Copies of this chain bind each other. A is one copy, B any other.
Amino acid sequence: MDEKCSCDNCELKELFVDSLEEDHMEAVCSSKKEKDYSVGEVILKERTQIREFTYLKSGLVKLFRSDPSGSEQIITIAKPMDYVSLLSVFSNDEYNYSVTALEDSVTCSLNLENLRMMMRENGGLALSLLQKMSRAADRIILDTLEIRKKHLRGRVAYLLLYFSDNVYFSSEFDLPLTRKEMAEYVGMTTENVIRTLSEFRKDGILKIYGKTIQIVNQELLRSISEFG
């Protein structure tokens, strides 16, 4: 909750900047709600009313669905600008997925009705937003298909490379997920995630110190991800 207007250093501003006149920008800025979350906190919960359009300013989050039986499926891991609500904000009354923070995160929310109104008045804004959200949905669909094609080793490799290439930009990083969550993301059991990581370690592909992963043989990991 920031009283002053902090939109100037918000990455989402680029969407609005060409689209909105100054006075509208003021309106956006004054109605927005910024919130801080620490690791593990729930950002939003499935089956609750959608009243806001939420996007991620900083941090890392997981989107997931939970079963009556208690099991969870992770839909995607999203970083800033990957997560600008999801499509359902414009087609559903209730969220059909939950979001929790994997790292300390900051979100910013706009009143959904206001945003709809702005979009109606300003097609350029609508189009920009559509494009952003399309990219996110596209990535989810393609990633899911990609993962489904692979065997266990390929799935784990894919996930590790995702973090290395797209989130941390380093061959060494701290996993933001537990082994269980990794399993929920790529659709396998916790034991098999652990086993596969151990195999990679034994094969000299990784060094593992608890949650810290160091990718030693990137070539090999990449070829396992693509097919192995």
Contacts and interface: CB of A to CB of B under 8 A. Distances in A.
A116 B128 CA distance: 10
A25 interface: no
Q: Is the interface of A mostly helix, strand, loop or mixed?
A: helix
A190 interface: no
Nearest to A71: B149
B124 A120 contact: yes
Interface stretch (A36-44, A90-98, A163-171, A211-219): A90-98
A134 B90 contact: yes
A154 to B, nearest CB: 14
A131 interface: yes
A141 B91 contact: no
A85 to B, nearest CB: 10
Given A119-B123, A123-B123, A131 B90 contact: yes
A80 interface: no
Contact of A130 (B67, B90, B142, B187): B90
27 contacts: A65-B145, A87-B133, A87-B134, A87-B135, A87-B138, A88-B134, A90-B130, A90-B131, A90-B134, A91-B131, A91-B134, A91-B135, A91-B138, A116-B127, A119-B123, A119-B127, A119-B130, A120-B127, A121-B123, A122-B123, A123-B123, A123-B125, A130-B133, A137-B137, A137-B141, A144-B148, A148-B148
